[in-house]
Amino acid sequence: MNRKIQSSFKKVLCFGASCVLGFGLLAPGEAAAQTMDAAKVEALKTELMKEIDKQQKQTQVMVDMVYSFGELGFQEFETSKYLTDILQKNGFAVEHGISGIPTAWMAKWGSGKPVIAIGSDIDCIPKASQKPGVAYHDPLIDGAPGHGEGHNSGMPLNITAMLALKKIMEKEKIQGTLVLWPGVAEEQLATKAYYVRDGYFKDVDACIFTHVGNNLSTGYGPIGTSGMISVKFNFEGEAAHSAGAPWKGRSALDAVELMDAAWNLHREHMLPSQRSHYVITDGGDQPNVVPSKASVWYYFREQDYPKVMQMYKDGIKMAEAAASMTDTKMTYEVLGSAWPGYMNKSIAEAMYSNIKQVGLPAWSEADKQLALATQKELNPNAPEMVKGLPTKVDTLRRPVPGAAWNGGGSDDIGDISWNVPTIVLGYPSNVSGLKGHDWASGITMATPIAHKGATAGAKAEALTVLDMLVKPEIIKEAWTYFNDVQTKDIKYTPMISKTDKPAIGLNKKIMAEFRPEMQKMYYNPKKYDSYLEQLGIKYPTVRTDGTK
C-alpha cells in the first residue's frame, strides 16, 4: 500500500473509531457498550468484589481522612486536593475549578461510550464537630464544623469502586468513560445546577449518585425530595444614634423583621407540602447604632418547579413591601437551587439486583453496641427507634405519589436527574433514628460502621456500572424511561439564570476561624492505623451509668 493510500486509510479508520469511541460524538443514550455473556459478567463481578475487599484499608483511610478535614461548603480545599491527588495518581485526568468554583472538579478516565458519571457530596455541617465512636455529644473542637451528615464517606466509596472497576476494564479492554465529580456546598444546594448550566453533563449517558444512609437502598420515580431555591435579601437604610437621634435613621433590620413577620403570617395560607425557613445573617453591629444594613437568608421548598417559583415571587413581593414601609433599599441574590429528584427505573432496577447480590456487611458486636447506644441517646423517650443496625437490605423504593407528599429535604442532584438518567445509591455507613444535620450524625462516620458501609456501597456501585458498560439495553431503556415517562409532560427549567454566579464566599469566615485548630487534628495514616487510634478513642465509647 503506497503512503498516500495508507494515509487515507488511516484517516478513515480514525474517523470511524472516533464516531464510535470519541467522547461526546454519540448522542446520550446511544451508548456503544460491548455485550458480554452472562457467565463472563458474573465472573467479573466476583472478581470486582474481591478487588474491592482488597481495598478496604484504603477505603478506611479515605473515609477517616475526609472526616478529619471537616470542611464547610465552598471551602473544601483540603478534601478536594486529597481526593484529586489520589485520582491523578491512578491515571484520571482532572479538570479543577469547574463552573468557576475553586473546590469543584471533574476527573475522567477511559474512552468512548458509554459515559458514566459518578458523584457524591463532600461538605459538612456547621457546629457538628464530634468525636467518632463516642455515643454522646463530645466535640473534637467546641463550635467547629463537622461531618454531621456523613458526606466524608461518599467520594471514598466512589473512588474505591471506580479504581477496582478500572482494573477490570483495562484487563478486559472494556470500552467506556468514567467521570467522577463532587457535590460542593450541597448543604447550600449551591453548585449542581451550575454544572448542568455549564454543560458538564451534556454528553453523559447515565449518572449514579451516592449518599450516606443506614441501609443499602435505591429507588426510582419521584423520591419525595423538595424542589428549592435559596435567596438572600439585603436591605440598606441609614445609620444614626439609636438614642440621640433615632428619627434620623432608617433601620435595615426593621425591614428584615417586617419581611419575616409577613412571611410567617403567610404560612397559614400555604400548602402543607411547603417548607420555608430563614436565618438573619446580618442584623446590625450594636444596639446603639440604627442598623444601616441587614440581611435575611431564605430557603423556599415545595413539590415542583411552579410552586417553588411562586414562593420565590411571594418572597420578593414581601421584601419589596418591607423596604417600602421602612424607606430602605432592597436587593436579592440567588445562592442556590434544586429541582425535586426524579430517579431512573432501568438503572435503579439494575442497582437493586446488585444490592441483593452484595448484601449487608457483617456487623461486629462493637458496631451493634455503638448503634444501639447512639439511638438510645437520641431517642430517650422513643424505644421504638432503637433498632440497631440493619440485618436485611431495604426494598426497592418506588415512586412517591403526589397525594402522599408532605414536604421534605432537598438535594441538587435533582437538577442532574432532569438532564440525564440518574439514581441515588444509599449505603449503610450511619444508623437510623437520628435527626440529621447534627453532631450525632457524625458519631459513626469514622468508625468500622462507616468503613464497612462504604465497602458494601462500593461493591453495589461497581457491579452496576459494569452492567451498564456491557449491557447496552440498560442505558437504552434508561433513556426510554427518561424521555417517555419522566420528561413526557415536565421539562427542566433552570431556577438559576445565565448570569447568576456560585456563592463561593460562603462559609469562608467560619473556616478561617476554626481551620487552624482543626489542622492540628487532621488524620495521619502514616502514624496511626485509624482516626480512632489517633484520637485515643476506645471503640465503642458509650454511657455506662447515665453520665460520660
One digit per residue, the tens of pLDDT, for the chain of length 548 reads: 443 334 433 333 333 333 333 344 466 766 555 778 999 999 999 999 999 999 999 999 999 999 999 999 999 999 999 999 999 999 999 999 999 999 999 999 999 999 999 999 999 999 999 999 999 999 999 999 999 999 999 999 999 999 999 999 999 999 999 999 999 999 999 999 999 999 999 999 999 999 999 999 999 999 888 999 999 999 999 999 999 999 999 999 999 999 999 999 999 999 988 999 999 999 999 999 999 999 999 999 999 999 999 999 999 999 999 999 999 999 999 999 999 999 999 999 999 999 999 999 999 999 999 999 999 999 999 999 999 999 999 999 998 776 566 778 899 999 999 999 999 999 999 999 999 999 999 999 999 999 999 999 999 999 999 999 999 999 999 999 999 999 999 999 999 999 999 999 999 999 999 999 999 999 999 999 999 999 999 999 999 865 55
- Phi, psi (degrees; rounded to nearest 5) at 382: -135, 75
Domain end marker among 452, 469, 490: 490
**Position of cell 482543626?**
518
> Are 437 and 124 a contacting pair, CB within 8 Å?
no
> Are 374 and 389 a contacting pair, CB within 8 Å?
no
For 432, residues 6+ apart whose C-beta sits below 8 A from its C-beta are 214, 375, 385, 387, 390
In this structure, the answer to whether residues 156 and 170 fall within a common structural domain is yes
Whether residue 219 lies inside any domain: the answer is yes
CA atoms of 155 and 119, how far apart (whole Å): 7
Write out the three cell numbers for 133.
Answer: 465512636
3-state SS class at 84: helix
Q: For residue 51, what is the domain's CATH number?
A: 3.40.630.10
Whether residue 518 lies inside any domain: the answer is no
Write out the three cell numbers for 83.
Answer: 481526593
Whether residue 9 lies inside any domain: the answer is no
Write out the three cell numbers for 78.
Answer: 483540603
In this structure, the answer to whether residues 172 and 271 fall within a common structural domain is no
User: Please, which residues bridge with residue 229 across strands?
Assistant: 300, 337
Q: For residue 305, what is the domain's CATH number?
A: 3.30.70.360
CA atoms of 537 and 523, how far apart (whole Å): 13
In this structure, the answer to whether residues 318 and 352 fall within a common structural domain is no
The residue among 30, 249, 45 whose CA lies nearest residue 161 is: 45
State which H helix or E strand residue 339 sits in: none
In this structure, the answer to whether residues 344 and 480 fall within a common structural domain is yes
In this structure, the answer to whether residues 45 and 76 fall within a common structural domain is yes
Q: Is 106 exposed, middle or buried (0-12, 13-18, 19+ CB in 10 A)?
A: buried
**Position of cell 465529580?**
181
Write out the three cell numbers for 502.
Answer: 456560585
Write out the three cell numbers for 457.
Answer: 456501597
3-state SS class at 126: coil
Q: What is residue 546's predicted lDDT score, i.e. its pLDDT?
A: 55
Q: What is the span of the domain harbouring residue 249? A: 227-338
Whether residue 29 lies inside any domain: the answer is no
The dihedral through the CA atoms of 302, 307, 312, 315 has a sign that is negative
> Are 113 and 22 a contacting pair, CB within 8 Å?
no
In this structure, the answer to whether residues 363 and 467 fall within a common structural domain is yes
Whether residue 475 lies inside any domain: the answer is yes
Whether residue 387 lies inside any domain: the answer is yes
> Are 487 and 69 a contacting pair, CB within 8 Å?
no
In this structure, the answer to whether residues 304 and 413 fall within a common structural domain is no
Helix ranges restricted to H, 364-436: 365-378, 413-417
In this structure, the answer to whether residues 322 and 451 fall within a common structural domain is no
CA atoms of 483 and 454, how far apart (whole Å): 32
Whether residue 106 lies inside any domain: the answer is yes
In this structure, the answer to whether residues 97 and 209 fall within a common structural domain is yes
In this structure, the answer to whether residues 50 and 146 fall within a common structural domain is yes
In this structure, the answer to whether residues 194 and 247 fall within a common structural domain is no
In this structure, the answer to whether residues 322 and 280 fall within a common structural domain is yes
CA atoms of 62 and 451, how far apart (whole Å): 9
Whether residue 386 lies inside any domain: the answer is yes
CA atoms of 500 and 37, how far apart (whole Å): 49
The residue among 165, 37, 98 whose CA lies nearest residue 464 is: 165
Domain end marker among 490, 514, 529: 490
Q: Considering its fold, how many domains does the chain have in total?
A: 2
Domain end marker among 289, 322, 338: 338
